[in-house]
Amino acid sequence: MGQERFRNLDAMRGLCALIVVLFHCANFFVPGLIFGHGYLAVDLFFILSGFVIAHAYGARLASGLGFRDFLRARVARLGPTYWAGTLLGIGMLATVALFRPAGTFYSPWSIAGIGALSLMLIPYLGAAGGPAFPPNPVAWSLFGEAIANLAYGAGLHRLKTSALALVAGAGWLACAIYSYSTPHGWLFGAGVDSLPFLPLKAIPAFLAGVILYRLWREGWLERLPKISPVVVLLLWALLSELPLTDATPTYDFLVVAFAGPILVALLVRAPQTAPRPFLWLGTVSYPLYASHQSLLLTAHNTPLLGFQRGPNPLMATLLIAACLGLAWAIHRMVERRAPARAPVPAVAM
């Protein structure tokens, strides 16, 4: 298994994780969403994941790595941090329940049962229109990551690049068609009602990352211009910042299917490494992603921090700092104690 790291991809993953956190901070800093298209970071996570997984496991799968061993390696790498974030989320549900009248929120037994399902990455299907993973709502994207990993390990890794491109293109086309048929637009997959359509989002983007890795390995990306990684990262932040005034599937499709892969390719081609703050964000990106909802949802659903009275930029800044601190603690206690393995894959929202 190769040990080479694509550090600029780590930087992009860190920026995306922070954008997701800010996207979830509705009404904390100002009324309304921050980074109105921050949800597109999920699709970029899938692209990054496909690139890194193809780098870490593509050759091994081709040379005989068993499907079961591949899955075991993925669970060993992604599981501990996800479980830590979900346990915190279970604590969040219990805290919120203290502030809700009896019968209007999950009961203690329901929290225990829903929490057990989430720890096993099994969606909770009991609330139509509700989140599929109440203790850790971002787990829907990890569920999509698992689907993409299963498909890749089970046989998609054997396909030629041209065949992968056809599958990815057909999947993105189906994803675009579905996004036009739902009022949520491209922002689907997190709820129980749209969870069955999640593969339309996860698999094409993951395969796009695999294709990018193969193009890099074969030297095709050498034809691209060398652009500073800071410029590329700021371009992605700009694309994510566009205000969300309505469902925008056309814009989302263009960003995901065209701008996202191009930006990833330019990061791989970049002549230097991104600045240290971006790399640090990359280091804590997975624990930040997996744990931040435990703090934000507590702030949203209880009067503890006073956000029910309106935006509070100072308190919101301290809350973001707490999310980053929690992510660093999980990284130190969970990730750094894990056995040395392949590069950490970018994970979805």
Interatomic CA distance for residues 34 and 273, integer angstroms: 28
> Which positions of the chain have pLDDT values less than 70?
1-5, 245-247, 337-349
Does residue 66 sit within a domain? yes
Residue 345 lies in a domain: no
Residue 1 belongs to a domain:
no
Domain total in the chain? 1
Q: What pLDDT, on a 0 to 100 scale, did the predictor assign at position 29?
A: 96
Asked whether residue 144 is assigned to any structural domain, the reply reads yes
pLDDT score at 341: 47
Domain interval for residue 254: 7-335
Q: Is 344 within a domain?
A: no
Say if 64 falls within a structural domain. yes
pTM of the full predicted structure?
Answer: 0.94
* Model pLDDT, residue 245: 67
Residue 247: the pLDDT is 65
Considering the domain boundaries, does residue 340 fall inside one? no
pLDDT score of 129 = 78
What's the confidence (pLDDT) of residue 2?
Answer: 39
Tell me the per-residue pLDDT of 33-42, one tens digit each, with 9 for 90 and over.
889 999 999 9
Smallest CA-to-CA distance from 143 within 219, 199, 187 is with 199
Q: What is the pLDDT of residue 56?
A: 92
